[in-house]
Amino acid sequence: VNFTTGSACVNAVTSFNNLTTISSGRIRQWLWDFGDGSTSTLENPGHVYQSTGTYQVRLIVIAPHGCRDTFTAPVTVHPLPVVSTSGDTTVCPGFPVQLNASGGVMYQWKPPSLFTNANAAATQMSTFRDTVVSVTVTDMNGCVDSAFVQINLLPLPPADAGSDTFVCKGGSVQLNATGGAGYSWQPSGSLNNANIPNPIATPPDTTTYIVTVIDTNQCTNTDSVTIYVHNPVINPVVADMREVCRYDSIRIYAAGGTDYTWSPPHGISDVHAQYPFFFPDTTTTYIVQVSNYCFSGMDTVTVLVHPLPGVDAGSDRNLCLGDAVLMTGTGTGTFEWQPHTGLLDPFNPNTLALPDTTTAYILTVTDSNGCRNWDTVVLYVFPPPVPDAGADTMICAGGFVRLNASGGTSYQWAPSTGLSCLQCPDPIASPSDSTAYIVTVSDIPGCARSDTVWVFVQKPVHAPATLDTSLCFGDSLHLGISASHALYYQWLPDDGIIFSDNSGNATISLTNSQTYILAVSNDCFSDTTAVTVDVLPLPAADAGEDRTIYRDETTLLNATGGIQYHWRPEENLENPYDAQTLASPFSTTTYTVEVADANGCHDFDTVVVHVIALDLILVPSAFSPNHDGHNDIFRIIRTLNIEKLITFEVYNRWGEKVFETDDPARGWDGTYREEPQEVGTYVYVIKAINRDNELIEVSGNVTLVR
């Protein structure tokens, strides 16, 4: 167990550094006794002693298993250093002040930026405002204390060197400064006495004198005064010839003096200004008289006045909303219309305008001299009339109707066919054919819009004669008869009619023959026509009896009852369009036959072919390979429901394989290795896959005879 301490100073934190170690495990507890009645259980505590002196500090350490050890050491608490300073002081702003401190071995002045050496016991500082500075003193025991010094500033003397003035070349002027007890002027070469408040100055050229004013506290302040020396030679500085557009203005600057007079006086904003505005009507040469306190001179400048370019934006005009108008401007130079809104090309003197409201367009023309002139044209935009030609109407052939238009002050009708007048709002119309009349309506500003009214002429109706027709029993039939000039259609009677419209179309389905009357009409005329529909009997379709076959076998389907046949489905049929056809379905199938007779009537019947998936591999029981053309080869004679032959093998009585193939068309010729085999019994083994993807095995005996 051990510990160390830092500096121990009264009323300051003393840090204790625990140096205790343990061979295994972790220390369970620390118990500190600081000797002044205070304790702590921290590992590295800090403690503030309220009095100086030597204290016996004890550290008790408790290990994990409960064992403990103790270490005691004396700690001496030192007093803080006694800080002494040179005390508060008062100085002139910016003047250096000497500050001194004692009582320690290290010093720190703050703020450090004000001091020539912030870490010295004796140092200097300067400031321009009342300031409190501090010094922190550390003694040889490491104890620290601080003190503060108030720096107060004296006011500056109110230095005043007087107002700037003028003097002629070689002349003198008396200066006059105030605000202090002592004075010092610079530069002093042209002064009769540089250390009085009111010396006589004889400057060779314009000179600025600076006076330093000193008050009774020895604080100083400065001010300056400028003496302007006028040269006897006046060189008026005026610009060369200037150009200006008529009615524009330009400023011309003159220099070299203090007073200016311009003539002639017309076209000038101020004849006594150094930098006046000029706006003559014609080209004019102006004379400027320039003077100073002592002398004068003159110069001239010509203002060249350019005439404005001619411009004409055209006459004001009226237009209707949505109409375009061509604006034609004239002049010499470049063009721009303002505003650009509604213009096709605002930089073209001749441009199309399509404003949506009354607009004043300004045409600006700029010539080669940069002079601009403008003119204005107003386009008055009026809303168009809202024409109404009236509702569409109908008349009978040979009749008439009075039209009635509104919405304007003048009217124009077209076409003229069948109208009693063309420029009235209410002409009588008696066209021979249906006609669309267009009326153009105009208002007082001249805006025009059009509307259309139809006069439909209903002519005599003619229902054409039609041929009788027929339909098969149970079928439907479409009847379509179009009558010229008809608007309304009605079929009578309505027996058997399953659909009809107002265009002469009807769909019928009958069980017995029927005569129909079609009545057609419009609002003026009517007519009728008739058609007879015969109902034809259906053929008697017969697909035959249901039957059963083995898979891979065929059966003959036989239908009767008509002259045309169609079997469905068509798969696995020899000819689906023949009354008799061979069928070889893979699985049980229902065949439907459609039978048509000479009238084109159709009937249907079905037959079911049941298919049995029988696996069959048929081989002979004996064969005689004697080359007589009869039973020379031992082969598979017939199969049913077999998809693929895997192997066909033949073995002799000793189990030796004498033949093998996977080709169902091949067979054994009774030889082995090209040698005829002896008469006797042989064993065959056949393996195959049926159409249901199942393995089939067949074996047996075959007798070879010769």
Can you read off the two tokens belonging to residue 401?
């109707």
Q: Please enumerate, as own/partner, the contacts of 459-462 that have beta carbons within 8 Å and a separation of 24 or more.
A: 459/397, 459/484, 459/485, 459/522, 459/524, 459/525, 460/397, 460/485, 460/524, 460/525, 461/485, 461/486, 461/520, 461/521, 461/522, 461/525, 461/526, 461/527, 462/527
Q: Please identify which residue in the block is written with the tokens 């054919």.
A: 433
Q: Give the per-residue pLDDT at 473.
A: 93
Mean pLDDT of 582-587: 95
Mean pLDDT of 543-570: 96
Q: Give the per-residue pLDDT at 237.
A: 64
Q: How confident is the model at residue 49 (pLDDT cuts 50, 70, 90)?
A: very high
3 state DSSP class of 213: strand
Can you read off the two tokens belonging to residue 456?
């439909």
| Torsions phi, psi for 223 (to 5 deg) | -150, 165
Q: How confident is the model at residue 96 (pLDDT cuts 50, 70, 90)?
A: very high
CA distance 159 to 326: 77
Mean pLDDT of all residues in the chain?
93
∠ CA(335), CA(336), CA(339), 5° rounding?
Answer: 160
Q: How confident is the model at residue 292 (pLDDT cuts 50, 70, 90)?
A: confident
Q: How confident is the model at residue 255 (pLDDT cuts 50, 70, 90)?
A: confident
Burial pattern 641-658, b for ≥16 Cβ within 10 A else e, equals: bbeebeebbbbbeeeeeb
Mean pLDDT of 73-81: 95
CA distance 1 to 67: 12
Q: How confident is the model at residue 254 (pLDDT cuts 50, 70, 90)?
A: confident
Q: How confident is the model at residue 706 (pLDDT cuts 50, 70, 90)?
A: confident
422 and 401 in contact (C-beta within 8 Å)? no
Residue 28 has pLDDT above 70, yes or no: yes
Mean pLDDT of 424-452: 94
Mean pLDDT of 694-700: 95
Residue 1 has pLDDT above 90, yes or no: no
Per-residue pLDDT tens digits for 223-238: 999 999 877 666 676 7
437 and 418 in contact (C-beta within 8 Å)? no
Q: How confident is the model at residue 24 (pLDDT cuts 50, 70, 90)?
A: confident
Q: What is the pTM of this model?
A: 0.38
Mean pLDDT of 92-121: 94
3 state DSSP class of 449: strand
CA distance 458 to 467: 27
Q: How confident is the model at residue 563 (pLDDT cuts 50, 70, 90)?
A: very high
Residue 496 has pLDDT above 70, yes or no: yes
Bridge partner list, 507? 478, 499
3 state DSSP class of 416: coil
597 and 537 in contact (C-beta within 8 Å)? no
Q: Give the per-residue pLDDT at 233.
A: 64
Q: With left for phi above 0 and alpha for psi between -120 and 50, is residue 256 left, alpha or beta?
A: left
CA distance 201 to 194: 10
The CA dihedral of 138, 139, 143, 144, to the nearest 10 degrees, is -30
Write the CA distances from 553 to 199, 582, 614, 641, 691, integer angstroms: 151, 10, 10, 9, 14
Strands (E), 443-504: 448-458, 469-472, 477-480, 488-492, 497-500
Q: Which residue has the higher pLDDT, 312 or 239?
A: 312
- Taking alpha carbons only, the member of 288, 285, 283, 284 closest to residue 271 is 288
406 and 388 in contact (C-beta within 8 Å)? yes
- Helices assigned H by DSSP within 196-262: none
DSSP type of residue 342: T
Can you read off the two tokens belonging to residue 200?
């006589």
Q: How confident is the model at residue 93 (pLDDT cuts 50, 70, 90)?
A: very high
- Residue-by-residue DSSP string for 127-146: -SS-EEEEEEEE-TTS-EEE
3 state DSSP class of 474: coil
What the chain holds in terms of domains, given with CATH numbers, is 3-77 (2.60.40.10), 84-153 (2.60.40.10), 165-230 (2.60.40.10), 237-306 (2.60.40.10), 311-382 (2.60.40.10), 393-458 (2.60.40.10), 469-536 (2.60.40.10), 547-612 (2.60.40.10), 616-704 (2.60.40.10)
Per-residue pLDDT tens digits for 184-241: 999 999 999 999 999 999 999 999 999 999 999 999 999 999 999 877 666 676 777 8
Q: Which residue has the higher pLDDT, 295 or 331?
A: 331
Can you read off the two tokens belonging to residue 160?
């005043």
